[in-house]
């Protein structure tokens, strides 16, 4: 099975859309900030997007 990853980048934001991402409004049910899971994490802000079933569907990086 071929996996497809899409990346979108602007000047200060990168978004990695994972293969299970269906797209469209309402696809993301929950967003978790990486620093909430790992307070010791250093670097840019990273957000993990999950769908309603709890599947990781996207990763956003703010620089």
pLDDT tens profile 19-45:
888 877 778 999 999 999 999 999 999
CATH architecture of 6-62: 2-Layer Sandwich (3.30)
**Which pLDDT does position 9 carry in this prediction?**
72
**Which pLDDT does position 12 carry in this prediction?**
86
CB-CB contact of 48 with 41 (8 Å): no
CB-CB contact of 61 with 33 (8 Å): no
């Amino acid at each position: 099975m071929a996996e497809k990853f899409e990346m979108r980048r602007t000047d200060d934001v990168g978004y990695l859309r994972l293969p299970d991402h269906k797209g469209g409004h309402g696809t993301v049910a929950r967003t978790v900030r990486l620093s909430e899971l790992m307070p010791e994490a250093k670097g840019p802000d990273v957000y993990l997007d999950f769908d309603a079933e709890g599947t990781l569907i996207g990763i956003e990086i703010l620089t």
